[in-house]
Amino acid sequence: MEFEKVKGIDKDDGNENSLDLREQIEKYLRNWKWFAIAILISLLYTFYNLNFKRSSYEAVSTIKIKNEKNGDKSALSAFQDMGIMSNSNDNIDDEIEVLKSKTLISEVITTLKLNIQFFTNKNSLSEFLDNNIGFNTEFYEIENYDNPPIDLNFFISDTALYTTSAQFLIKINSDNQYTFATLDESIVKTQSFGEKLTTNFGDLIILPNVDFKKANLIGENILVSITPVADMTNAYLDGLAIEPKAEFSNVLSLTVTDSHKKKAENFLDELVHRYNLRAIRLKEELSQNTSEFVSERLKKISEELADVDENVENVKSKYGASSVASSAGLNMQAAKQIEQEKNQTATQLNQIKQVKEIVATKGKNEMIPSVGIADANVANSVAKYNELLIAKQTRLKGGSTEKNPIVVALDDQLKSLETTINKGLQNAEASTKIAYDAYSQQYNIAQGRIYGAPQQETQIRDVTRKQQTKEALYLYLLQKREETAITLGVADPNAKIIDKAESNPNRVAPKKKMAFIFAILIGLLIPFSIIYLRDILDSKIHTREDIERVLSIPIIADIPKLDGKKSRYLIKKEDHSGVAEAFRILRTNISFILPKTSESNDGKVIFVTSSIAHEGKSLVSTNLATALSHANKKTIILGLDIRAPKIEPYLGVRSKQGVTNYIINSDINPADLVVSAPENDYLDIITSGDLAPNPAELLMNARIKELFDFAKENYEYVIVDTAAFSMVTDTLLLSKFADAFIYVIRANFVDKRMLKYVNFLYKEQRLPNMALLLNGVDQKKTYGYGYGYGYGTAFENSQKKWWQFGKS
């Protein structure tokens, strides 16, 4: 291995937080099996769902909402000036809401009987699951809307039928007999067509509607589904879209989706038809109410006019009609002009009083006419009042009660408008009265200027003025009655059909391609998210790169993870496994961390330690010593982990005395502790000895130095197996004897936060010539060549297996 790789990355690179793209890609590629499984499951789930969803088709219709203001002159415009209706154009958004109202959609559903559906023909997946695996999907794909195979005659009321929810199967046994069964088969009955059938939702009679033999239905099931109208209404409301063709346009585009093309077309056509019927009904009702009101007013004005005509006749008979002609001249003309203005003002004042009387005496749900009211604010308020009253009556006829929140809100608005109308009428009456008084004053002045005007002329003029006022009002109401009569005969629909409903031949749902693409994306996203979250939450060290991102300490080697069965592993001279190659690389790389200048020929002392127990320092110590001995280097391994000694089981030796015995007993020499490794002339061992109650105090004994001096004088390499560094002080007490430290970090075991402690030891130079060793590396989770570089595998593959003996 090159020296740069041993030293690891530079400090600046080690502290860099950016992730290497190649490493991230390979991290996910290593888990390709999970991605493949997730995609497969997602595709199967999507395939299953798509097979249990009926195709949906879209139908489109185009209509134009009539706009009186912009040219579609309606008959109702005849009494807009009476204040019964507003002159403003109906808001197109309001008409859209009417078209999308639940009341209107419910009428369409009940008229077309869309709440009762007939389905035949299972698809292949449903048939396979039901017949071979024992499922009970009972999914029938084709809806028979145009020509239902059977006809159902219910004995229950329509109201009860509209709230019924039921599904059952009708199996056609023959042309005359069928079998009724619920989906759970709790009820199964065989009957003849035309007989009364008793079910859990009521009695009915089933009749054939097609020739079963020609339709190939004998022996087949028909799924009958009865859905509550309210649920069906909500379903159609979700699939109904109504939008203007353009901004400020009265042309609307109606779109609906359904499982059957013809049913979607019929729904839209019936919806427009019902909308027009509703508009015509409301217009006729409004026209009728207006006609009745005008007729009542005509009757009352006619009686008053008759009284006035009688007074005029009496006055003229008393004084003679010729007396009027005696008055002439300019003053007479001026008086006549002022009198005309005064009469018009009196007419307006009389009309205002009549409307005030109507407002004061009308019923709660009666409309207010604004006949002849010149004040625009009062006329608009009256128009708004009438519109709200019509809306309230529509709600009440639609089934709402007086306590309905919407009806209550309308009542509050009506009361507020009525107060506003009263105040407006009072103001209009006051202003008109002022004008009338002014004309009266002017008229009196003109009259005073008429020299010698006879008394009879004044009396005739007074009664004539009253006569003219009543005649003007009578003629006006008579004209409006005729206009209303015309309106009653010509009430027309509110929507003009531009394009009848037409369905798209291609289905709009389900979109299988998009569904499978989405399934693939979900299949990729789920394992990706799991791996990503696992990495975020994972605090363990796994690879060399995890260390290099945090530390700039040289990494001397990576030791692959052992097979789970090999808890205690010792390399052999002819061992070509990846682990053996890793320890040989470690043997080579030791020269890079040992001091370069040394005048003596003493052996090199290498300590092996770790942060905590079970990181594999004993494994590293024994195998490093073995690897050095295989290179014919005289090596000794010292077991100075006197708290938890483990090198004896690795090396396969047993010793009666060790380091602790040597320290306690001064009669024992270091040479007495040496034990030769089995079948290895270059490796000796000094074990830790008996367990002692005071390990730290023993390691501070002066005889420890003599032990190290002996080892350095007689061996080229001294490998020292020490205690875990962060748990006890034993290793720190012995660190002065070390030429180099190999700090073992076990992959998939140690927390990344422990690296802060390792970095502290390195920066404070607590351990001389410190280098890291990553133990237990999972080669599948790393990139690069790995250990063995293919040689070990090639060597092992070249060896014949026992069953290949004798084969060439």
Q: CATH code at 586?
A: 3.40.50.300
Q: How many domains does the chain have?
A: 2
Cα of 50 vs its chain's centroid, Å = 20
> pTM of the predicted model, to two decimals?
0.59
For residues 236 and 257, the answer to whether their CB atoms sit within 8 Å is no
Q: Which of 146, 63, 59 is nearest to 504 (CA)?
A: 59
Alpha carbon distances (Å) from 570 to 678, 779, 806: 12, 20, 31
Q: 555-560 and 604-610: which strand pairing?
A: unpaired
Q: Reduce the DSSP state of residue 244 to 3 states and report it.
A: strand
Per-residue b or e along 310-345, where b marks 16 or more CB atoms closer than 10 Å to that residue's CB: eebeebbeebeeebeeebeeebbebbeebbeebbbb
pLDDT value of residue 254:
95
For residues 410 and 395, the answer to whether their CB atoms sit within 8 Å is yes
Residues 763 and 628 placed together within one structural domain of the fold: yes
Backbone angle region of 632, left / alpha / beta, with phi > 0 → left and psi within -120 to 50 → alpha: left
Sign (positive/negative) of CA torsion 453, 456, 459, 464?
negative
User: What is the DSSP secondary-structure string of 90-128?
Assistant: PPHHHHHHHHT-HHHHHHHHHHHTTTEEEEEEE-HHHHH
260's tokens? 């059957």
pLDDT value of residue 281:
82
691's tokens? 């367990």
The answer to whether position 653 is within a domain reads yes
Residue 754 has φ and ψ, to the nearest 5°, of -70, -20
For residues 166 and 181, the answer to whether their CB atoms sit within 8 Å is no
For residues 777 and 561, the answer to whether their CB atoms sit within 8 Å is yes
Q: Read off the DSSP letter of residue 56.
A: B
Residues 562 and 525 placed together within one structural domain of the fold: no
Sign (positive/negative) of CA torsion 195, 200, 203, 207?
negative
Q: Is 172 exposed, middle or buried (0-12, 13-18, 19+ CB in 10 A)?
A: buried
Half-sphere exposure of 305 (CA within 13 A, CB side): 14
pLDDT value of residue 787:
45
The answer to whether position 605 is within a domain reads yes
The answer to whether position 505 is within a domain reads no
Q: 251-258 and 240-244: which strand pairing?
A: antiparallel
Residues 566 and 529 placed together within one structural domain of the fold: no
225's tokens? 């589904």
Residues 663 and 528 placed together within one structural domain of the fold: no
Q: Which of 444, 546, 524, 443 is nearest to 755 (CA)?
A: 546
Residue 55 has φ and ψ, to the nearest 5°, of -70, 145
Residues 525 and 578 placed together within one structural domain of the fold: no
Low-confidence residues of the chain: pLDDT under 70: 1-20, 68-90, 315-331, 364, 370-374, 395, 397-400, 447-459, 481, 483-491, 564-567, 597-600, 780-808
What's the CA gap between 676 and 303, in Å, rounded?
A: 144
Residues 524 and 609 placed together within one structural domain of the fold: no
Q: What residues form DSSP beta bridges with 152?
A: 206
Q: The tokens 């002065």 sit on which residue?
A: 736
For residues 249 and 259, the answer to whether their CB atoms sit within 8 Å is no
Residues 726 and 741 placed together within one structural domain of the fold: yes
199's tokens? 């079910």
pLDDT value of residue 359:
78
Q: Choose one of 474, 504, 537: the last residue of a domain.
A: 537
pLDDT value of residue 339:
80
pLDDT value of residue 379:
78
Quick: pLDDT tens for 467-524: 778 778 778 777 776 766 665 555 678 888 999 999 988 888 888 899 999 999 999 9
The answer to whether position 190 is within a domain reads no
The answer to whether position 227 is within a domain reads no
First to last CA, the chain: 37
Residues 645 and 527 placed together within one structural domain of the fold: no
Sign (positive/negative) of CA torsion 270, 272, 275, 276?
negative
Q: Which of 480, 484, 447, 483 is nearest to 462 (CA)?
A: 447
Identity of the amino acid at 580: A
Residue 713 has φ and ψ, to the nearest 5°, of -75, -30
Half-sphere exposure of 149 (CA within 13 A, CB side): 26
Identity of the amino acid at 50: L
What's the CA gap between 692 and 699, in Å, rounded?
A: 11
Strands in 116-122's sheet, in edge-to-edge order, are 140-143, 116-122, 221-226, 166-172, 177-182, 188-192
What's the CA gap between 494 and 274, in Å, rounded?
A: 11
Residues 599 and 528 placed together within one structural domain of the fold: no
What's the CA gap between 161 and 378, in Å, rounded?
A: 49
What's the CA gap between 640 and 798, in Å, rounded?
A: 42
For residues 321 and 444, the answer to whether their CB atoms sit within 8 Å is no
- Give every CB contact of residue 355 below 8 A, 6+ residues apart in sequence: 368, 369, 370, 371, 373, 425
Identity of the amino acid at 720: V
For residues 254 and 240, the answer to whether their CB atoms sit within 8 Å is yes
pLDDT value of residue 792:
46
The answer to whether position 530 is within a domain reads yes
Residue 733 has φ and ψ, to the nearest 5°, of -65, -30
Residues 643 and 690 placed together within one structural domain of the fold: yes
What's the CA gap between 439 and 338, in Å, rounded?
A: 7
For residues 607 and 735, the answer to whether their CB atoms sit within 8 Å is yes
Q: Choose one of 537, 571, 596: the last residue of a domain.
A: 537
The answer to whether position 69 is within a domain reads no
Residues 692 and 757 placed together within one structural domain of the fold: yes
Alpha carbon distances (Å) from 493 to 431, 499, 708, 757: 42, 16, 113, 87
What's the CA gap between 194 and 82, in Å, rounded?
A: 61
Residues 46 and 30 placed together within one structural domain of the fold: yes
Q: Which of 660, 687, 772, 686 is nearest to 725 (CA)?
A: 772
pLDDT value of residue 78:
43
The answer to whether position 294 is within a domain reads no
Range of the domain at 527: 19-53+517-537
What's the CA gap between 737 and 784, in Å, rounded?
A: 36
The angle formed by the CA atoms of residues 749, 751 and 752, to the nearest 5 degrees, is 125
**What count of other Cβ atoms lies within 10 Å of the Cβ of residue 76?**
20
pLDDT value of residue 626:
93
Q: Prior bond to 510 cis, omega within 30? A: yes
